[in-house]
Amino acid sequence: MSSSSIQVLHKEWLPAAGVLVIPGQLNFENLLQLEKLFSGRKITWLVEEKANYDSPIQSHLEKSGSGAMFSADDAAPAAAGDQLKSYLSGNGVLIYVPGRVTVRKGTANHVPAAHLKALCAFNLPITPIAVDCPRESSLAIESSSSLPAAVISIGKTIAAGTASVAVFQQALLEANEEAYSLRSLFKGSLPMALLEGLKKHGSQNRILDGSDDSELSFDKILAAAISFSKFIKQETDKLRVAIVLPPGKAGLIANLAVLFAGKIPVNLNFSAGHEAIRSCIRQADVDRFITADPFVRKVSSFPWPPNRDLIFIERVLPTIKKKTIAWAVISKILPAKTLGTILGLNKRSADDEAILLFTSGSSGEPKGVALSHRNVLANVCQFGTRLDVPSGSSILGCLPLFHSFGCTVTLWFPIIEGVNLVTYPSPLETKRLAELVSLHQINIMLSTPTFLRGYMKRIDPLQLQSLKLVVTGAEKLPESLASSFEEKFGIRPQEGYGLTETSPATNVNLPDLSADSKSAVLPSSRSGSVGQLLPGIAIKITNPATEKQIPIHQSGIIWFKGANVFSGYLNNPKKSAEVLQNSWFHTGDVGRIDEDGFLYIEGRLSRFSKIAGEMVPHETVEAAINKVLGLDTESERRIAIVGVPDEQKGEAILLLSTIAGPALEQECIDLRYKLLDEGLSSLWCPKRIVPVSEIPVLASGKLDIKSCEELALKDS
């Protein structure tokens, strides 16, 4: 392998003095490249005594004759560190060589936590080095031979005595983010990537629409989308076009056609309130709405604009059938690049707005999240790399298209990667969804805990037998629900995490891999967490009170950085400035990373109350109340904690409850004693119970914080 196929970033950060170098991963070719980087200096290879190595690495280490050994079980690492310091005399270099591991694709850190802990305890200066291997994690539309074999990104050296697993992890992830963000795919346009995917997988993959049991191959979808895009171009001069459709072939063709027309699709949330919908329409500045007659009748409560502004897709497509047939022939004959040039798909830059989504509005007016071509392509690559879906797989697409996960993972991902897409308009009709899973032998299902609960009733376990992966997001997955689902269906739901602003996926748990006895197995799932970071995403944590950076193993505000992170809210520089600092995104969520890189979400900052200077997490209080009252969290939500202004302590917490009786004051006193017995601080106990008929939730199942606060303030 030629050295030209390996890129090196930040050679200038290599320290002149002696240092311990810890690469996140290392194959034989990259080991030789590291040796080259430090040519002229004395190199000592550092190995863990119980680790196993691939043959070429083992042979090279033996031939070099310069090695040192350590034990991760050593009870006195500082003493071992004193011995290792001699190798750093002058400008000597100790290079740790990770042993053979079984790990998910795209994982930045291949060093077992025990080894890393021992290495950091040596009290030596450490240079972290991220190694990204694009050829090993390329998408189906990429030519792996045109990609670099590796990008070696040198991190800033951690001073002696200041290293810890948390400090190293953060530095390595930041170096990896920079390497990953250089991928040439991210410099292209989303419509061009989709065109290449539809062309490549044209006759092999298809969309199966569960609403009418019809199916269309990707090449037919391509022809229909190109033909429809010409119609859209004639209909409006506006930059954006609204789409009001559920998952299905019409929704897929509409979104593709808008992109092929050089415009930006805006999938509107038809389940939101009228005020929120009108706000989205106003912000997006749209004058045309793609929809379908049956859907207009079904969602009659939607504030539909005048008929002249509506484009009924099922009326238009038959009128352009001849053009569609012509485009089917043309798209078969012409190469993707030529076809893309004819359609003008590369006129926009990677940082231009590709799609517009809106936040759920759970804590205020919906905000327009303008995702760039780079953002979406990066997230498809990040998600696709980690999933590593085998050929012939199929995915269930029933999440709404206005839902960021439903958009990226069940629109763009299947087309680009060549995955069969089985759609259904509603995630609530679990009986029909189970039939589709069984009929089409679906492998991957995305859901939310709210929707997952529907499968626990009236569904035969045999119907879900084909599922290999069930991923949930949007809200916390209760342990009891995950265990009950696994007990019934034989597959454990894996919790993931993401935000609209991150395109959306940032983390996901996946089933652990198995390996032979010679390899260390790094975990890829941990109960209670939302999983490890997807490749190319860096994280930092700040103290919510002081806003100062703290180690990522401590609980605080989560910040993300990566090619998938958006660049700002639509026409809202003030809100954008509040959440973006030097490309870092302030998520508003509170959490921490453990020693194996798993992220734990401990609540939303908006779901904390500062009482007498102490941060009180609403979700922790809710969990304690559910426990002491013996409430079934697998069914509907019965309680919610809300913070309200308080003159004495700054803020007080109230309990919204659907089970409150007439003696509210006594019930509150009884509840306080039960919570105190559980070990909760008196500051964390609700000041008052507010009886409500139901707890407000959004269509996604998330708590509607804004409506909850309105109910609490009305009672104050």
Q: How far apart are CA 382 and CA 416, in angstroms?
A: 13
> What pLDDT shows up at residue 633?
66
Q: How far apart are CA 314 and CA 317, in angstroms?
A: 6
pLDDT at 716 over 80: no
pLDDT at 352 over 80: yes
Model confidence pLDDT, tens digit, residues 309-351: 999 999 999 999 999 999 999 999 999 999 999 999 988 899 9
The amino acid present at 444, given as its one-letter code, is: I
Q: Name the band, by pLDDT with cuts 50, 70 and 90, for residue 93.
A: very high
Which tokens sit at 152? 């070696």
Which 8-state DSSP code applies to residue 409? Answer: I
Model confidence pLDDT, tens digit, residues 153-174: 999 999 999 999 999 999 999 9
Please state, for a pLDDT cut of 90, what percent of the chain lies above it: 64
Which tokens sit at 493? 């739901």
> What pLDDT shows up at residue 668?
83
Which tokens sit at 184? 């040439």
Strand-pair category, 469-472 with 444-447: parallel
Q: How far apart are CA 230 and CA 234, in angstroms?
A: 7
418 CA to centre of own chain: 20
Q: Which of 373, 356, 368, 404 is nearest to 503 (CA)?
A: 404
Q: Name the band, by pLDDT with cuts 50, 70 and 90, for residue 362.
A: low
Tokens 């690469």 map to which residue?
23
Model confidence pLDDT, tens digit, residues 246-280: 999 999 999 999 999 999 999 999 888 788 899 99
Q: Is 610 exposed, middle or buried (0-12, 13-18, 19+ CB in 10 A)?
A: middle
Angle CA(146)–CA(147)–CA(151) in degrees, nearest 5? 155
Strand-pair category, 101-102 with 520-521: parallel
Which tokens sit at 69? 């050994």
Q: How far apart are CA 129 and CA 61, in angstroms?
A: 19
Helices (H), 368-489: 373-387, 404-407, 413-417, 430-440, 449-452, 479-489
Q: How far apart are CA 155 and CA 170, in angstroms?
A: 10
> What pLDDT shows up at residue 183?
93
> What pLDDT shows up at residue 424?
96
Q: How far apart are CA 263 and CA 266, in angstroms?
A: 10
Q: Kindly list the distances between the CA atom of residue 237 and the CA atoms of 226, 229, 240, 263, 327, in Å, as whole numbers in the listed order.
A: 18, 13, 9, 9, 23
Q: Name the band, by pLDDT with cuts 50, 70 and 90, for residue 401.
A: very high
Helices (H), 65-214: 77-84, 113-120, 165-180, 190-200
Q: How many CB atoms lie within 10 A of CB 666?
A: 10
Over range 368-374, report the average pLDDT.
96
- As beta bridge partners, residue 560 has 539, 585
Are the C-beta atoms of residues 200 and 143 closer than 8 Å to each other?
A: no
Q: Which of 185, 313, 196 is nearest to 257 (CA)?
A: 313
Which tokens sit at 691? 């009886």
Q: How far apart are CA 534 and CA 525, in angstroms?
A: 13
pLDDT at 405 over 90: no
Write down all domains in the chain, each with its CATH number in brackets.
Answer: 3-182 (no CATH), 190-588 (3.40.50.12780), 612-715 (3.30.300.30)
Q: How far apart are CA 449 and CA 482, in angstroms?
A: 9
> What pLDDT shows up at residue 1?
45
> What pLDDT shows up at residue 713?
82
Which 8-state DSSP code applies to residue 217? Answer: E
Lowest mean pLDDT among 92-101, 271-280, 396-405, 534-543: 271-280
Model confidence pLDDT, tens digit, residues 593-648: 999 999 999 877 767 777 766 778 788 888 888 888 888 766 678 889 888 887 66
Q: Which of 297, 322, 334 is nearest to 312 (CA)?
A: 297
Average pLDDT, rounded, for the chain? 90
Which tokens sit at 521? 């197995």
Q: Which of 137, 159, 166 is nearest to 150 (CA)?
A: 137
Are the C-beta atoms of residues 560 and 537 closer than 8 Å to each other?
A: yes
Residue 57 host element (H or E): helix 55-64
Which tokens sit at 37? 């980087």
Q: Got the DSSP string for 241-259?
A: EEE---SSHHHHHHHHHHH
Residue 455 CB-half CA count within 13 A: 29
Q: How far apart are CA 464 and CA 491, in angstroms?
A: 9
Q: Is 307 exposed, middle or buried (0-12, 13-18, 19+ CB in 10 A)?
A: exposed
Lowest mean pLDDT among 35-49, 437-451, 611-625: 611-625
Q: How far apart are CA 516 and CA 525, in angstroms?
A: 19
